[in-house]
Amino acid sequence: MKKIFKILGIILLIFIAVLVAVPFVLESKIDAIVQNYADENLDADLSFDDISLSLISSFPKAEVRVENLKITNKAPFKDETLATAKAISFEMPIGELLKGTEEPLRVNEIIADELLLTLKTNKNGSTNYDIVKQAEDFSEVSTPEEQSSGFSFDIQYYEVNNSAFTYIDEGSNTSFYIAELNHNGKGIFSAEQSELDTKTEARISMSIDSTEYLSNNNIKLEALIGLDLEENKYSFKENKGYINALPLEFEGFVQMVEDGQLIDITFKNPESSFKDFLAVIPEVYAKNIENVNTTGNFTVIGIIKGLVSEQTIPNIDINMRSDNASFKYPDLPKRVTNIMINASVKNTTGIADDTYVDLNQLDFKIDEDVFKSEAHIKNLTSNIRVDADLDGVLNLGNITKAYPIEFENQLSGILKGKLNTSFDMDAIESNAYQRIKNNGSVSVSNFIFSSEDIVNPMQINKADLTFNQGSVSLNSFNAQTGKSDFSATGTMNNLLGFLLSDKKLQGDFNVTSNTFAISDFMVEDESATETSNKKTSSSESLKIPDFLDCSITANAKTVIYDNLNLKNVKGELRIKDQNANLSNMTSDLFDGQLGISGNVNTKEATPKFDMKLAMQQFDISQSFKDLEMLQALAPIAKVVQGKLNSTINVSGLLDENFSPDLATISGNALAELLTSSIDVSKSPLLSGLGSQLDFIDFTQLQKDIKTKLSFEDGRVNVQPFRITYKDIPIEVSGSHSFTNTMSYSAVLQVPAKYLGSDVNRLIGQINDAEVNKISVPVTANIGGTFSSPSISTDLTSGISNLTEQLIEIQKQKVIGKGKDKINDLLDNFLGGNNKSTKTDSTNVKSDSTKKDPKEAIKEGVGNVLGGILNGKKKNDKKPQDSIKNN
Q: How many CB atoms lie within 10 A of CB 224?
A: 15
Taking CA 405 as the corner, what is the angle to CA 401 and CA 411, rounded to the nearest 5 degrees?
70
Helix (H) or strand (E) holding 232, with range, is none
Count of beta carbons in the 10 Å neighbourhood of residue 742:
21
- Closest-CA residue to 127 (of 164, 77, 177, 165): 77
Cis peptide before 635 (omega within 30 of 0): no
Instruction: Report yes or no: 818 and 772 within 8 Å, Cβ to Cβ.
Output: no
Is residue 715 within 8 A of residue 675, CB to CB? The reply is no
Tell me the residue length of the chain. 886
Residues 6+ apart with CB under 8 A from 864: 804, 807, 808, 810, 811
**Per-residue pLDDT tens digits for 140-187:** 444 434 444 455 556 788 999 999 999 998 877 888 899 999 999 988
Cα–Cα separations (whole angstroms), residue 561 to 521, 565, 598, 626, 870? 11, 7, 18, 11, 79
Residues ≥6 apart with Cβ < 8 Å to 639? 621, 678, 679, 680, 682, 683, 686
Q: What pLDDT score was predicted for residue 598?
A: 93
Given CA atoms 843, 846, 847, 850 in this order, what sign does their dihedral have? negative
Closest CA relative to residue 331, chosen from 379, 382, 291? 291
Q: Do the Cβ atoms of 477 and 439 come closer than 8 Å?
A: no
Q: Cα(first)–Cα(last) distance of the chain, in Å?
A: 169
pLDDT of residue 864: 41
Would you tell me how many other CB atoms lie within 10 Å of the CB of residue 758? 19
Give Dmax over CA atoms of the chain in angstroms: 173
Whole-number pLDDT of residue 534: 41
Q: Which amino acid is at 6?
A: K
649 burial type by CB count under 10 A (0-12 exposed, 13-18 middle, 19+ buried): middle
User: Is the alpha carbon torsion for 213, 217, 221, 225 positive or negative?
Assistant: positive
3-state secondary structure of 83: strand
Rama region for 59: left / alpha / beta (φ>0; ψ in -120 to 50; rest): beta
* Number of neighbours of residue 112 by Cβ within 10 angstroms: 21
Report the pLDDT value the prediction gives residue 152, as an integer from 0 to 100: 58
Tell me the β-bridge partners of 392: 371, 417
How far apart (Å, rounded) are the C-alpha atoms in residues 30 and 37?
A: 11
How far is residue 106's CA from residue 61's CA, in Å, rounded to a whole number? 12
Q: Where are the alpha helices (DSSP H) in 790-847?
A: 795-814, 819-832
- The backbone torsions φ and ψ at residue 845, rounded to the nearest 5 degrees and listed phi first, read -85, -5
10 Å CB burial of residue 368 (0-12, 13-18, 19+) is exposed
| Distance between CA atoms of residues 348 and 363, nearest Å | 28
Per-residue H/E/C for 469-495: CCEEEEEEEEEEECCEEEEEEEEECCH
Report how far residue 595's alpha carbon sits from residue 568's, in angstroms, rounded to the nearest whole number.
12
Which runs of consecutive H residues, i.e. helices, occur in 431-563? 495-500
Query: Any idea where the domains of the chain sit in the sequence?
Result: 723-886
CA distances from 283 to 160, 213, 710 (A): 24, 16, 66
Q: What's the CA gap between 358 and 346, in Å, rounded?
A: 8
pLDDT confidence of residue 116? 93
Q: How far is CA 408 from the centre of its chain?
A: 20
- Is the preceding omega at residue 777 within 30 degrees of 0, hence cis? no
Q: What integer pLDDT is reported at residue 526 of this predicted model?
A: 40
CA-to-CA distance for 328 and 602, rounded, in angstroms? 49
Instruction: Identify the pLDDT of residue 464.
Output: 95
Q: Please state the pTM of the whole predicted model.
A: 0.61
**What pLDDT score does 837 carry?**
37
DSSP class of 841: B
Whether residue 498 contacts residue 505, with contact meaning beta carbons closer than 8 Å, is answered with yes
Where would I find the H helices in 94-181? 135-139, 144-147
Per DSSP bridges, beta strands 151-169 and 105-121 are parallel
Residue 10 CA to residue 722 CA, distance in Å, equals: 122
Query: How far, in Å, CA of 480 to CA of 307, rounded?
Result: 58
User: 219 - beta bridge partners?
Assistant: 202, 243
Task: Name the DSSP class of 826.
Answer: H
User: What is the distance, to the nearest Å, from the Cα of residue 234 to the centroid of all Cα atoms in its chain?
Assistant: 52
Candidates 853, 747, 748, 865; CA nearest to 801 is 853
* Regions of the chain short of the pLDDT cut 70: 1-30, 33, 56, 97-105, 134-154, 189-191, 209-213, 282-288, 408-410, 451-454, 500, 522-542, 767-772, 813-886
